[in-house]
Structure 1
Amino acid sequence: MHKSLTRQIKTLLAGICLSALGSTALQAGEGLESAEAAQYLSELKRLYLSSDDRQALLAHGNSLLHSYALLAGYQPGRADAVDLRYQLSSPQAGELRVREERRARDGSLQVSNKVLPVFGVDPFIRYECPQQGQQCVILDPRDGSPLLSIVRDHQGAAELAKALSYLLRNLQK
């Protein structure tokens, strides 16, 4: 009985020590993340001549969407190729609006808006760039469905996902 009790106490103490170490490591990681975020936001504000984090993030996201737009010219051999252009905005607190324009080869234009409520959403944005095809897909953090498509460029998709992740965190404040 004494050995069993001693073993339980040792296990409990080991768990407390590991928990304390994990908490310290987490706090140190948060400090690094905060420093990285501050540097990233500072660079964006300088680049876009803005004093506001959110405006700099929106400008950067829109710039990336413009640069990596999936245009019909990038889709050879597809009869249904369209120009896809997106624009980000945040008209109300706690939401991100994604405006999509689809221009067909015949010149017809379809415009749609997706509203992404940001509260309670994991701000980590994922993307996929399949080997086959000409596009990368940025995934909706709510359910993993496609949120928007850009030309197939891993670096561009990674930078856009990073900017959107920081933007969602900012909108969640």
Structure 2
Amino acid sequence: MAVSFEGSRLPAWKSKGRQLAKVAIVASALVAGQAAALAPEHETRRLMLATEEAVTAENWGEASEYLNRLQLLDANKPVDYHYYRGQVMLQSSHFNEAQAALEAYVTKAGAEGSHYQNALKLITGIERARKDKAQAPQTGEEARVAVIEPAGGNRVASLRRLYLADSDREALVLHLNSLLGVAGWRTDQTVVRLDRPADIEYRLSSGGDAISIQEIRRNNSGGATRKTAQIPVFGINPQVEWGCEQAVATCWVYDPRDGSRLIQLSPNRGQAEEIAQTLGKLIRNLQAPPSS
């Protein structure tokens, strides 16, 4: 017995097999369509459950994939999203991102958050990791670089010509203060007027074997408080770290002594990077022995 199928004559069992295959394909498509058609709030819940399971099992790559998909969803993220993101970033040694996410969790969840205590411990662990990294002994190669090229080569020579400075050190200090003058932190970042001082700004000077950084904080009434920190340059790593946190619209330059926050800047990555690099060059300059 044979049946007609699209103009051809096939054995009945083959015809039935093709029909079953078509049914399976259609069913698969329907299932996939239902999964893809989940409303954003349900998909968010699903991915959060998957993230929690991956983090519990310490499958960090899988957890990172779920978090990336969550980030793309147009839906409000549960507060635990920040906690899990902090853990995943910490596993990748992305300390800046990890701390920003964990601080966001603590701020949003408060002391009643189910992960509140552990989030605080993780933030403390990040500070310790930064401190250990900052205090790590320099290799011989790094020490030679600080002596052979303490001023940063042609870049610093250009700065000397630009600022009409008498020395590399003077040029670096002038350039740092110029950068800090336009990178001050403001409460309102929507309208930035350079003719008005920032809410938080800094002035830097150097002398002997130390760098002096003055922080100026202005209040709503027009008053200002000033605080000065001295940073001895010997025994610290001239590779100055920096990072930006979108959640608080802030970039930071970290203290090369212990990795703590040192300078609070506007959320401009380019400015923060150049300030950190120039500060590192100044540290190298001060660390280098006087030329004979």
Provide the TM-score with structure 2 as the length reference.
0.44
Question: Which residue among 110, 114, 133 is the counterpart of 2:225?
Answer: 110
Q: Which runs of 5+ in 1 are unaligned?
A: 1-22, 77-81
Where 1:70 maps in the other structure, the secondary structure is: coil
Residues 95 and 83 of structure 1, relative CA distance in 2, 3 Å threshold:
same
Where 1:121 maps in the other structure, the secondary structure is: coil
Aligned position for 1:85: 201
Aligned position for 2:121: none
The structure that has the greater radius of gyration is: 2
CA contact (8 A) 1:85 1:102 kept: yes
What letter is aligned with 1:83? D
- Misfit runs of 4+, over 6 Å: none
Aligned position for 2:285: 170
Residues 71 and 121 of structure 1, relative CA distance in 2, 3 Å threshold:
same
Distance apart, 1:59 and its partner CA: 0.3
More deviation in 48-57 or 36-45? 36-45
1:84-133 Cα shifts (integer Å, max 9, x gaps): 0100001x311000001100112221110011011101111101101312
Where 1:144 maps in the other structure, the secondary structure is: coil
Q: Calculate the aligned-residue CA RMSD, in Å.
A: 2.5
Q: Which runs of 5+ in 2 are unaligned?
A: 1-139, 192-197
Distance apart, 1:46 and its partner CA: 1.2
CA contact (8 A) 1:75 1:134 kept: no
Aligned position for 1:64: 179
Question: Which residue among 154, 158, 163 is the counterpart of 2:273?
Answer: 158
Aligned position for 1:18: none
Distance 1:153 1:166 in 2: 20
Where 2:199 maps in the other structure, the secondary structure is: strand
Residues 35 and 103 of structure 1, relative CA distance in 2, 3 Å threshold:
closer
What letter is aligned with 2:200? L
Aligned position for 1:13: none
CA contact (8 A) 2:246 2:267 kept: no
Where 1:170 maps in the other structure, the secondary structure is: helix
Distance apart, 1:73 and its partner CA: 2.8
Where 1:125 maps in the other structure, the secondary structure is: coil
CA contact (8 A) 2:151 2:168 kept: no
Distance apart, 1:34 and its partner CA: 3.7
CA contact (8 A) 2:151 2:282 kept: no
Residues paired across the two proteins, number? 140
Higher fraction of helix: 2
Distance 1:125 1:35 in 2: 15
Higher relative contact order (Cα pairs below 8 Å, separated by 6+ residues): 1
CA contact (8 A) 2:181 2:202 kept: yes
Aligned position for 2:160: 45
Identity level (%)? 34
Higher fraction of strand: 1
CA contact (8 A) 1:96 1:115 kept: yes
Residues 75 and 108 of structure 1, relative CA distance in 2, 3 Å threshold:
farther
Where 2:188 maps in the other structure, the secondary structure is: helix
Aligned position for 2:215: 100
Where 1:74 maps in the other structure, the secondary structure is: coil
Provide the TM-score with structure 1 as the length reference.
0.73
What letter is aligned with 1:124? Q
